[in-house]
Structure 1
Amino acid sequence: MTRQARVEGEPQRPSAFMISLDFELHWGMSDIVTTPEHPYVRRLLGARRAVPAMLDLFRERHIRATWATVGYLFAEDRETLKRFSPGRRPHYANPALDNYRLTIGDDEASDPLHYARSLVDLIAQTPGQEIASHTFSHYYCHEEGQTPEDFKADLAAAMAIAEHAGHRLSSLVLPRNQVDEDYLATIREVGFRCYRGNPQRAGFSRHQRDATFRRALRLLDSYVDLTGHHGTKWRDLKGDPLDIPASMFLRPRRGIPQLDALRLRRIKKAMRRAAKRGEIFHLWWHPHNFGDATDAHLRDLSSIIGYFQSLSIEYDMRSMSMGDVLMRHEQVTTAPSTT
């Protein structure tokens, strides 16, 4: 198939297929997975097998991705965690959200649910992979009992422990996508230059009061087109820090062939539309979503990547991380005018 012209793309900025992953292990589920016997522990531990397998696939297929990593996971041991933990901490009205209350082991060997330095290093060693932040403590911006000052201390700690591990961060993904516009100045002040924003469509506004309806709409929309395709035009990227909106969440398999096929079809149709229109398609998930039925999830991911590669041939779609998109955006917006 010969490469075709993009319909509405910009020559300096072709359509992009972007992946971001929320790497959190138990830190992101501690309010739900409350005992070692909880059935979801298996998935969290399974993420430790899924991460290297995904990296192998990304390396083989030349896929670039952003790994938004909870700050705790950068630590080699409990002593390192203590050293980098901020003195100022949130006091959530819901104490189940407070990760500082957890009893953890000494290091990764004794506690693989709460440490992952070896996996962080493996990600960093894989070509095209960007290490980003998912805050230090899996911080919840929309919860009662936390303040802007608490948030700033958390982000500063996330930056510091990442630098200790040898990484300079520019991209941020907020836990549970709790983006608060009042906190954007703090994000910029600490040094982050871009973040993953929420799609501008029904089901994603925090101001919609019926949370049950929002969740149901998002779930159904993953299988059938209820709210559109959700690519982002380059010219619509805005903000400082730069808002790089999510397009779709790659939901875990249901084990129902018809539903699982619908889910992939929905994603691929949205990818094709973004490729045709010269847009950014931003797919995200958690490594632990692949922690059960890992091989089947990897086959799905391979199918998505294969479809992207066909779009790359047909429409010149490119694989990009959040950092890549940030750099492309800055190059074009700061270039001197030729007129």
Structure 2
Amino acid sequence: MSFSKSGGKFIISLDFELMWGVRDIVTIDSYGQHIAGVHEAIPKMLACFQRHNIKATFATVGLLFFSSREELLNNLPHKKPNYKVTNLSPYGDYMVKSVGKDHHSDRYHFAPELVRLIQNSPGQEIGTHTFSHYYCLEEWQTIDDFRDDLQAAMITAKKMGINISSIVFPRNQFNINYLEVCKEAGIITYRNNEESWLYNARSGEKESLLRRAFRLVDAYVNLTGHHCYTEKYMSAKFPVNIPSSRFLRPYYSKLQFLDWLRLRRIKKSMTHAAKNNLMYHLWWHPHNFGINQLENFSFLEEILVHYRYLNEKYSFTSCTMTELAKEIIEGQGNLRNTI
């Protein structure tokens, strides 16, 4: 039975990256508290998910799987991206000068124990956020660089007994030309961006303050719609596109007085999806919950309580990206032959 007849779907994905995802824009001195807090936040999230029967996809950067710098350096891909903006690359001096000896001494770059915790948590999926937090729209990187990066991510996960079948593109730099590489690697689903000019994928250099400002407003007031999706929309091509509906912005004290609007925005869209048998996809980074954990988890709790209500009333169901993709594929005979 297709989900359009059996009830809507609630997807949560998390971009699990530690410093590898922000090292080009912040430092450990300025942002380290957020990153260190991930080691406390993820166990809390998993407990919260279990309490509310939530399944989630943790799109994880391959570099944080390792236990030591030596192990990391011995498992790098052969080809590495030669970005025009050289600071985007984590390779070279950064790995030698900024990465600690092992996961005991460096909680900013390594988290094998968190990967294992997620792996052993019922209902949770580990997907890939590429090996090196790879930027697919930046100048001078190539599709062959991406292929080697993705292969390294798959091999690294496989060594821990994890079979990767979903991908989230770092910085939401979705590149349609790279889907064939994903397909070859065994990826069956990916997260694309919301259907709006505000969210269209761009390189870092082409991003604008205007778009950022409108996205901020859209988090509180409905400027661009609910971003809920039909099974037909998601099944148009293979791999299966499971687009984002909303980024769960972290608590910000200066905008605390507007949090009721932020919550209402999310709950209304979830309700719209549940009533109309659509898919709603919420995402964030674990480091967004690295600080202000009381406020962030209280906000998440309200969302998940609302999910429970929708689940009971409308059969709105939580599932991972791969679970939903498999359900869609099973309902579409020759979907794997399209791209």
Asked if these proteins are the same fold (TM beyond 0.5), I'd say yes
What is residue 241 of structure 1 aligned with on the other side?
Answer: 239
TM-score, normalised with respect to structure 2: 0.92
Residues 232-284 of structure 1, C-alpha deviations (whole Å, 9 max, x = no match): 11111132211110100000111233222211110000000011110000000
1:60-139 matches, within 5 Å, as 60-101=51-92, 102=94, 103=97, 104-139=99-134
Question: Where in structure 2 are the equivalents of 1:292-331 lying within 5 Å?
Answer: 292-331=291-330
**Conserved 8 A contact 1:202-1:227:** no
SS of corresponding position for 2:126: strand
- Equivalent residue number for residue 222 of structure 2: 225
Give the corresponding residue for 1:3. none
CA offset at residue 9 of structure 1? 6.5
Encode CA deviations 1:147-205: one digit per residue, 9 max, x unaligned.
Answer: 11000000000000000111000000010110011111111112211110111113012
The equivalent of 2:337 in structure 1 is: none
Q: Which runs of 5+ in 2 are unaligned?
A: 335-339
Mapped to 1, the partners of 2:202 and 2:292 lie a distance apart of 36
Residue 156 of structure 2 is aligned to residue 164 of structure 1: no
Q: Which amino acid aligns with 1:37?
A: D
What amino acid is aligned across from residue 55 of structure 2 in structure 1?
A: R
Structure 1 position 212, deviation (Å): 2.0
Mapped to 2, the partners of 1:275 and 1:37 lie a distance apart of: 43
Amino acid at match of 1:89: K
Q: What do you get for the CA RMSD once the two structures are aligned? A: 1.7
Pick which of 144-153 and 204-213 moved more. Answer: 204-213
**Distance of 2:122 and 2:136 partners within structure 1:** 32
Asked if 1:45 is matched to 2:36, the reply is: yes
> Which residue of the partner structure matches residue 30 of structure 1?
23
C-alpha distance 220-153 of structure 1, shift in aligned 2 (>3 A): same
Asked if the contact 1:9–1:277 (Cα under 8 Å) also holds between the matched residues in 2, the reply is no
1:154-233 pair list within 5 angstroms: 154-206=149-201, 211-233=208-230
Q: Quick one: distance in 2 between partners of 1:126 and 1:55?
A: 7
Equivalent-residue separation in structure 2 for 1:166 and 1:111 (angstroms): 24
Q: Distance in 1 between matches of 2:3 and 2:135?
A: 36
Greater CA drift, 288-297 or 235-244: 235-244
Note if contact 1:264-1:300 (Cα within 8 Å) is conserved in structure 2: yes
Q: How far apart in 1 are the matches of 2:263 and 2:278?
A: 19
Secondary structure, counterpart of 1:269 in structure 2 = helix
Secondary structure (helix, strand or coil) at the match of 2:26 reads coil
AA aligned to 1:49 is E
Summarize deviations over 1:290-330 as a string: whole Å, max 9, x none. 01111211111111000011001111100111011111111
In the alignment, the residues of structure 2 paired with residue 145 and residue 232 of structure 1 have an alpha-carbon distance, to the nearest angstrom, of 34
SS in 2 for 1:189: helix
Specify the alignment match of 2:4 in structure 1.
Answer: 10
Structure 1 distance, partners of 2:286, 2:193, is 20
Q: Provide the residue aligned with 1:5 in structure 2.
A: none
CA contact 1:84–1:160 (8 Å) conserved in 2: no
Letter in 2 for 1:118: E
TM-score by length of 1: 0.92
- The structural deviation recorded for 1:105 is 1.3
User: Structure 1: any 5+ residue segments left out of the alignment?
Assistant: 1-7
